Structure 1
Amino acid sequence: MKPIAIITDIEGTTSSIRFVRDILFVYAEQFLPDFIRKHKEERDVARQLRSLSDNTGIPLKNTEALIEQLRKWMREDNKSTELKALQGMVWEMGYQRGEYQAHIYPDVPDKLREWQNAGINLYVYSSGSEKAQRLFFRYSVFGDLRLLFAGHFDTSIGPKQDPQSYQNLVDWIALPPADILFLSDVEAELDAAASVGIKTVWVLRPQESGTDITKLRSKHPMVTSFKDIKLEDL
């Protein structure tokens, strides 16, 4: 039976990891420290800094130590919710200035529209904050794609390789897990989703990994493009 809802990852799935790594991460690394110094008293920034202080024990008044912790996490590609939220604020500045547009693979927009037109609800689950996800699809190379999605989820719902996170998604979407399809380029995420009964497809783009899927074995159906996803065969 075809899924009623589809959840997609972003990095490596709808979009190039290289864009996130070489453009967005570099931009955040360059501008995040001064952004925090300038905006630390504003509500949204202050909320994240307070949470960061609570979780690390770094005094809230020690702005430079908080910044250094964030810079350390950026170097480690830590998925901290506070870091992702603050990165999203900096990325918004870059998008609005026209510094870059979010990369989307050419096969993605038409397939998403096809699924939406078929009555399938589309969602995003990514380690980037919900705000960063919306910015990503608003300022894409294919224009504003936000209306394609019924909702966005980030790590506030749980880590992406934790089965409980996918049970939380099932509970939120309020559908049987067998009616939900999850798309990702990370097998461990797919394993976690499958463990609670969600259908899965492993998106292995040769541009990202150089992997020949004909030489792989997996319990997850494998594709190299959204065009190859046949919902009726799942």
Structure 2
Amino acid sequence: MTTTLTARWAVLDIEGTLTATSQVHVVLYDYARPRLGPWIEEHPGDPEVTAAVTQVRHVARLPESASTEEVVEVLHGWMDEDRKAAPLKTLQGLIWQRGYASGELITEFFPDVAPAVRAWRGAGVRLAVFSSGSVAGQVASFSRTTDGDVTSLFEAHFDTVNAGPKREKSSYRAIASVLDVPSAEVVFFSDVPAELDAAAADGWQTVGLARDGEPYGDADFGAHAKIRSFGEVAVVPL
């Protein structure tokens, strides 16, 4: 049975929703880990890189004279903790961007993803992404997927830098403001109940992805609609 939702915008999480968690925690993390140090060393004049390194030193309370090796040690620790630290996400995103451009990285979507989002977009629903991964990383990952380049399907990208933490109501208020629609006209898809709670607190429609084998596959989604595949839901425009 297919549930039909009506919305102007569908906003989608990535990890555990569009892709397997292992796509990030294994494939992407393993790609970025050995490249963090060399990337910092090779881009001493890049303001985005230097700003990220300065943030790492500040958050970790390292001295300004801390070496690249000390900075990388902090970054690796954050990766081990799966910490959603903005400077880490920035550096990872830049590294992944190059990986996708070179063809070394390819995003593998769940098989139900591309047909669904293409159908929703074709019907007139506008699409956006809200992920803890940087906007640069999001766009790069969508440029080379097992279903081709899907960047043109998505009109807006949000991360924890330009929107805020994913488990806070204020972040969803900020996104709805940028999208310029009432919160009730946005539907958010995520595999994390706490993120859905925050979106619902701002008046968004919410749908939980309980995918088999994923960390939140057996989670309690409470009052949120719950599906195991995008094949179980249709989104049509207002």
CA distance in 2, matches of 1:231, 1:144: 22
Task: Tell me the equivalent position of 1:197.
Answer: 203
Q: Which of structures 1 and 2 has the larger relative contact order (alpha carbons within 8 angstroms, sep 6+)?
A: 2
> Which is richer in helix?
1
Task: Tell me the equivalent position of 1:19.
Answer: 23
Indicate whether 1:151 and 2:156 are aligned. Answer: yes
How far the C-alpha of 1:11 sits from its partner, in A, is 0.3
CA distance in 2, matches of 1:93, 1:212: 35
CA distance in 2, matches of 1:61, 1:143: 44
For the residue of structure 2 that corresponds to 1:208, the secondary structure is coil
Give me the CA root mean square deviation.
Answer: 1.9
Task: Tell me the equivalent position of 1:76.
Answer: 81
Tell me which moved more, 44-53 or 21-30: 44-53
1:90-125 CA-to-partner distances (Å, cap 9, x unmatched) read: 112322332231111111112111111121110000
Indicate whether 1:170 and 2:168 are aligned. Answer: no
Gaps of 5+ in 2: none
Choose which of 45, 50, 70 in structure 2 pairs with 1:46. 50
CA distance in 1, matches of 2:215, 2:73: 32
Choose which of 54, 64, 67 in structure 1 pairs with 2:72. 67
CA distance in 2, matches of 1:28, 1:82: 13
Contact kept, 8 Å, 1:49 with 1:60, in 2: the verdict is no
1:132-169 CA-to-partner distances (Å, cap 9, x unmatched) read: 00011001111100000010000011110111111111
Amino acid at match of 2:184: A
1:187-232 CA-to-partner distances (Å, cap 9, x unmatched) read: 010011001100000011114248468xx56201111111111347
Task: Tell me the equivalent position of 2:189.
Answer: 183
Contact kept, 8 Å, 1:9 with 1:124, in 2: the verdict is yes
CA distance in 2, matches of 1:43, 1:212: 43
Task: Tell me the equivalent position of 1:10.
Answer: 14
Amino acid at match of 2:175: L
CA distance in 1, matches of 2:218, 2:74: 39
Aligned residues with identical type, % of pairs? 36
Amino acid at match of 2:130: Y
Task: Tell me the equivalent position of 2:121.
Answer: 116
